[in-house]
């Protein structure tokens, strides 16, 4: 009997120690260290998959609204690692169109390996799909069924074909009839782009160069507005 008990305890211990803690389930914004990553395998830390029922439960009625016109089968859940300005390695997540999901995994891997800082990457659903709240928190994200900041038409984010990176420091800016729209408004100090500041995206930085290389356009190149956080594939 004692032998059996010992065997059972030993089996339970082995089962626990082989569980893929802290990576399963994937928990965005949780810090991990390099020995955890080595054990789990770096390739497993950069992956894309179909939208699981658990992920859809988070999106439903938020980024994936009832009137959403894109089939769920066109979207992918992306798991990546990113590194903060403080050097912390974190799990990141994003939902995007399957037409760009592989590009995104490759781009985020290259950024991670180069130590390019991204502060936060969690689903916009964590902010109730409120884009302003997400941008204010400097959260990088892609899919969200929503309209452009000035209203009128659907954003490319509605199809998951656009990505916003470090948005607080790279705001959307539109000037028309003397009226300036800045989103998020908390990023107003970063409308002026001539100086140097953390998380700044310009044409020379690695993030911008990679997205352009993969065939995306950059919102900083737009003529009538500037959307420094925004990369989109048409
Ligand atoms: Zn955008």
What Cα–Cα distance (Å) separates residue 226 from each residue in 9, 28, 187, 193? Answer: 61, 29, 13, 11
- Give residue 71's pLDDT band: very low, low, confident or very high (50, 70, 90): very high
Q: Cα(196)–Cα(57) distance, rounded to whole angstroms?
A: 41
Q: Which residues surround ligand 1, an ion (CB under 5 A)?
A: 162, 164, 230
Parallel, antiparallel, or unpaired: how do β-strands 47-50 and 75-83 relate? antiparallel
Strands of the sheet with 75-83, listed across from one edge: 47-50, 75-83, 89-97
Work out the percent of the chain whose per-residue pLDDT is above 90: 86
Cα of 209 vs centre of ligand 1, distance in Å, is: 17
Cα of 45 vs centre of ligand 1, distance in Å, is: 25
Percentages (nearest 5) of helix, strand, coil residues in the chain: 35, 20, 40
- Give residue 19's pLDDT band: very low, low, confident or very high (50, 70, 90): low
pLDDT tens profile 167-212:
999 999 999 999 999 999 999 999 999 999 999 999 999 999 999 9
Q: Cα(141)–Cα(145) distance, rounded to whole angstroms?
A: 12
Cα of 157 vs centre of ligand 1, distance in Å, is: 6
Cα of 53 vs centre of ligand 1, distance in Å, is: 26
Cα of 230 vs centre of ligand 1, distance in Å, is: 4
Q: Would you say residue 11 has pLDDT above 70? A: no
Cα of 177 vs centre of ligand 1, distance in Å, is: 23
Q: What is the DSSP letter of 154?
A: B
- Residue 98: strand pairing partners: none
pLDDT tens profile 99-130:
999 999 999 999 999 999 999 999 999 999 99
Cα of 52 vs centre of ligand 1, distance in Å, is: 24
Is residue 99 within 8 A of residue 233, CB to CB? The reply is yes
Cα of 94 vs centre of ligand 1, distance in Å, is: 13
Cα of 159 vs centre of ligand 1, distance in Å, is: 12
């Amino acid at each position: 009997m004692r032998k059996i008990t010992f065997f059972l305890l030993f089996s339970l211990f082995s089962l626990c120690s082989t569980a893929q803690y802290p990576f399963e389930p994937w928990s965005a914004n949780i810090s991990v260290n390099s020995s955890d990553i080595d054990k789990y395998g770096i390739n497993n830390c950069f992956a894309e998959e179909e939208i699981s029922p658990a992920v859809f439960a988070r999106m439903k009625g938020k980024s994936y609204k009832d009137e959403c016109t894109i089939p769920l089968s066109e979207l992918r859940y992306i798991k990546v690692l990113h590194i903060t300005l403080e050097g912390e390695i974190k799990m990141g997540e994003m939902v995007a169109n399957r037409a760009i999901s592989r590009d995104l995994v490759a781009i985020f891997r290259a950024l991670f390996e180069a130590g390019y800082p991204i502060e936060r990457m969690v689903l916009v659903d964590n902010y109730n799909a409120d884009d302003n709240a997400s941008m204010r928190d400097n959260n990088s994200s892609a899919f969200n069924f929503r309209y452009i900041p000035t209203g009128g038409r659907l954003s490319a984010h509605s199809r998951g074909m656009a990505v916003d990176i470090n948005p607080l420091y790279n705001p959307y800016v539109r000037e028309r009839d003397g009226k300036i729209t800045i989103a998020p408004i908390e990023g107003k100090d970063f409308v002026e782009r001539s100086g140097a500041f953390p998380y700044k995206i310009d044409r020379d930085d690695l993030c911008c160069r990679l997205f352009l290389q993969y065939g995306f356009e950059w919102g900083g190149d737009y003529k009538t507005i500037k959307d420094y956080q925004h990369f989109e594939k048409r």
